[in-house]
Chains A and B, each alone.
Chain A
Amino acid sequence: MKNVFLKATILTIVVFVIGFFVGVFFDNLRLEEIKGRITEIDNLWNDARLLQSYIQKFSNITPHCEFLLDENLKLGDRIYAEGLRIERYEDTNRFAPFFDLEKKRYALLDLQFWINSIDLKRLCNADYSTVIYFYSQYSETPEQGFQDQVLLDLKQKCGPQIIYITFPADMEISTIEVIKNIYKIEKIPSILINESILLSSPVSMGELEKYIKC
């Protein structure tokens, strides 16, 4: 009879060991995928930046504005989609939760993209809105969870009408620290709209729509 208990124990352990390896396999798969995708965006970003620099240096930017704005918004959408993917992968991963490095790379990309978007908006006199979301990477509150969802829905609703960028406010990225000082961001999460309006979270969809053209 002892045999039955032993068999049941062995079978259960085998199932859990397989479960562990399946978990590790999928976690690593996601991690590698994210690394590849960020590298890809990095290339796209470099391409877009070089194009803009080239046009600014050797030609008049005004005739190219429509094209540049279009490309910038496409890149913005791509960065947003990848950000969403990273968040979901990070929430799911149990055995390979080493997303800090990737998140920093992603945040730096976001920063560069934001600065470029400000430039382009000024040079081309564009009318899209920028929504910058400062959130906490390490202490997620339910309030932040709600705000994440509201902003994701806003982006889905407005599409290319807004550029939505997220910054982890507590990842010790010096540029983000400087931006926080400039805009006097003390409370996290906070939302910065069009580099001028600062809202402290939680902000409802209805309230956000008052400030954003969508």
Chain B
Amino acid sequence: MDIIIDVITLIFTFISVYFMFLFLLLFFSHKKRFYKKSSIKNVPSVSIIIPVYNEEKAIEKTIKNVKKLIYPKKIEIIVIDDGSTDNTYKIIKKIRGIRVLTKKHGGKAKALNFGLKQAKGEIVACVDADSYPEKNALMKTISLFEKNVASVTTCIFVKNAKSLIQRLQRIEYLFIAWSRKVLEYLNSIYVTPGPMSLYRKKVLLKVGGFDEKNLTEDIEIAWRLLKHNYKIKMSLDTKVYTSVPRTLKKWWHQRLRWNIGGMQTNLKYFNLFLKKDFGSVGMFLLPFFSVSYLLSILGLFLIFYFIFNWSYLFIGSYTFGFNLMGTFYILPDIFLFLGIFVFILSLFYIKAGYKTMKRYIHFPKKILDVLIYVLFYFAIFPINLIHSFLKFLTGKHKW
């Protein structure tokens, strides 16, 4: 058993070190361009699509916010009521200067496709009904639509983080934004987040629009665009605020959906594994996610193994009356060396993320949140992943 644990630990460490090096190398070679601003050369027409379902509390504010967006041309705002059963439709109908469409309830992807067909703009910006882009969001993102760029994503921030789980998500979202920017340089942005992402309408229609069967249409469409060798960019200085789950239960449910959607996408494109002709999907994303799943499961296995061992020792010490502390000792060996190395590399990794995102982080007030995030929040992910995997296998998944 000891040899198996040693081998698993070595594989786990090797993969972790490799990806940390990869991300750090990408960061150091491109960091000067992270916040690079460029001006709009052509001013394309823009349509904003807001799919909405039972959002009577948030939708008015979202639309008001979207109407304040600064742009040299008139913006078409399309709000699609996806068969809401509350007062959503009544509320949006009263608002002037927007196009209100209604349809039978069919899910977000269907609503987006419905809006896409109605949109007149060259660029469509899909905005969630509970998300709030900053005033300059369009000006900052449209300038990134260079040749062959099919989509531009934005930096998502957590709005009104009050509960602990919301505060932890606030930190997480910052690191997600940072890693998404790094992945831009591998042309491997694997998600065009729902709160606000922009697409070239022509391209979106050409590749077939959003996948209505996938639980995470924003992940699937990103993979499909990459598969067709289009580029996806990340605008790090475009802030979009969004609501996140307030309770652990809701958070858990959301992550199940994200994971299952990710698995559906992985499975859908798995035939492209290590195939060069399909952009980064075959050569990076599929291997990266396969390895990530493996890493999570290995990590979880190691955690359970150590918890089991310690519990067993604890019970033994209680039953047989020996001192538990006498069983712990550390001597220098390859694992201690690699452990220290991974720790130092992780600090560099966190520092790189912090350096990029520091304009949005307020230290030291939230240092406790950061500690909880590093020590506990990460540990929940593999458990959620296993749950997602079981749900995925049994087919018990829905929005």
A binding-site residues for B, Cβ under 8 Å: 1, 4-5, 7-9, 11-12, 15-16, 18-20, 22-23, 26-27, 30, 88-89, 92-95, 142, 145-147, 149-150, 152-153, 156, 202-206
Task: Indicate if B320 sits at the interface (CB-CB under 8 A).
Answer: yes
Q: Are B320 and A12 in contact (CB under 8 A)?
A: no
**Stretch touching chain A among B15-23, B126-134, B156-164, B228-236:** B15-23
Among A5, A18, A88, the residue within 8 A (CB) of B22 is A5
Closest 3 interchain pairs by CB? Answer: A23-B334, A205-B321, A149-B322
Q: Which residues of A contact B316 (CB under 8 A)?
A: 142, 145-146, 149
Q: Which residues of B contact A19 (CB under 8 A)?
A: 334, 337-338, 341
Q: Are B17 and A12 in contact (CB under 8 A)?
A: yes
Instruction: Give bound CA distance, A26 to B331, whole Å.
Output: 9
Among B312, B323, B329, B341, the residue within 8 A (CB) of A15 is B341
Instruction: Give bound CA distance, A206 to B21, whole Å.
Output: 53
Chain B residue nearest to A26 in the complex (CB): B332
Instruction: Give bound CA distance, A15 to B317, whole Å.
Output: 38
Q: Are A4 and B327 in contact (CB under 8 A)?
A: no
Instruction: Give bound CA distance, A92 to B18, whole Å.
Output: 25
B242 shortest CB reach to chain A, Å: 31
Chain B residue nearest to A7 in the complex (CB): B25
Beyond A12-B17, A145-B316, 13 additional pairs, beta carbon < 8 A: A4-B22, A4-B186, A15-B341, A16-B338, A19-B334, A23-B337, A26-B331, A30-B331, A94-B333, A146-B322, A149-B320, A149-B322, A204-B320
Instruction: Give bound CA distance, A93 to B334, whole Å.
Output: 9
Instruction: Give bound CA distance, A206 to B332, whole Å.
Output: 35
Interface residues of B in 4-59 (CB under 8 A from A): 6, 10, 14, 17-19, 21-22, 25-26, 29
Interface residues of B in 114-160 (CB under 8 A from A): none
Q: Are A204 and B319 in contact (CB under 8 A)?
A: yes
Instruction: Give bound CA distance, A22 to B331, whole Å.
Output: 12
Task: Indicate if B326 sits at the interface (CB-CB under 8 A).
Answer: yes
| CB-defined A-B contacts under 8 Å, sample of 29 | A1-B186, A4-B22, A4-B25, A4-B29, A4-B186, A8-B21, A8-B22, A15-B17, A15-B338, A15-B341, A16-B10, A19-B334, A19-B338, A19-B341, A22-B334, A26-B331, A94-B6, A94-B333, A146-B316, A146-B322, A149-B320, A149-B322, A149-B323, A149-B327, A150-B321, A153-B322, A153-B323, A204-B321, A205-B321
Contact digits for B166-194, partner A, Cβ 8 Å, 1 yes 0 no: 00000000000000000001100000000
Q: Which residues of B contact A93 (CB under 8 A)?
A: 333
Q: Which residues of B contact A202 (CB under 8 A)?
A: 320
* Total contacting residues, chain B, CB less than 8 A: 32
Q: Which residues of B contact A9 (CB under 8 A)?
A: 18
Q: Which residues of B contact A22 (CB under 8 A)?
A: 332, 334, 337
Q: A12-B18, A12-B21, A19-B341 in contact; A152/B322 too (CB < 8 A)?
A: yes
Q: Which residues of A contact B329 (CB under 8 A)?
A: 88
Q: Which residues of B contact A95 (CB under 8 A)?
A: 334
Q: A4-B29, A22-B334, A88-B331 in contact; A205/B320 too (CB < 8 A)?
A: yes
Q: Are B320 and A146 in contact (CB under 8 A)?
A: yes
Instruction: Give bound CA distance, A54 to B383, whole Å.
Output: 70
Q: Are B331 and A92 in contact (CB under 8 A)?
A: yes
Instruction: Give bound CA distance, A15 to B10, whole Å.
Output: 12
Q: Which residues of B contact A20 (CB under 8 A)?
A: 334
Q: Which residues of B contact A23 (CB under 8 A)?
A: 333-334, 337
Instruction: Give bound CA distance, A26 to B316, whole Å.
Output: 31
Q: Which residues of A contact B323 (CB under 8 A)?
A: 149, 153
Q: Which residues of A contact B22 (CB under 8 A)?
A: 4-5, 8
Contact digits for B296-336, partner A, Cβ 8 Å, 1 yes 0 no: 00000000000000001100110111110011010111100
Q: A142-B316, A149-B327, A153-B323 in contact; A27/B333 too (CB < 8 A)?
A: yes
B326 shortest CB reach to chain A, Å: 6
Instruction: Give bound CA distance, A147 to B316, whole Å.
Output: 9
Instruction: Give bound CA distance, A36 to B17, whole Å.
Output: 37
- Among B19, B26, B319, B322, the most chain A Cβ lie within 10 Å of the Cβ of B322
Instruction: Give bound CA distance, A1 to B279, whole Å.
Output: 12
Q: A88-B331, A92-B331 in contact; A12/B317 too (CB < 8 A)?
A: no
B25 shortest CB reach to chain A, Å: 5
- Among B185, B312, B323, the most chain A Cβ lie within 10 Å of the Cβ of B323
Chain A residue nearest to B323 in the complex (CB): A153
Q: Are B333 and A92 in contact (CB under 8 A)?
A: yes
A191 shortest CB reach to chain B, Å: 13
Interface residues of B in 337-374 (CB under 8 A from A): 337-338, 341
Among B14, B319, B331, the residue within 8 A (CB) of A12 is B14
Instruction: Give bound CA distance, A23 to B18, whole Å.
Output: 20
Chain A residue nearest to B319 in the complex (CB): A204
Q: Which residues of A contact B337 (CB under 8 A)?
A: 18-19, 22-23
Interface residues of B in 184-221 (CB under 8 A from A): 185-186
Q: Are A16 and B14 in contact (CB under 8 A)?
A: yes
Interface residues of B in 236-273 (CB under 8 A from A): none
Instruction: Give bound CA distance, A147 to B321, whole Å.
Output: 10
Instruction: Give bound CA distance, A205 to B333, whole Å.
Output: 33
Q: Are B312 and A205 in contact (CB under 8 A)?
A: no
- Among B6, B321, B323, B334, the most chain A Cβ lie within 10 Å of the Cβ of B334
Instruction: Give bound CA distance, A153 to B324, whole Å.
Output: 10
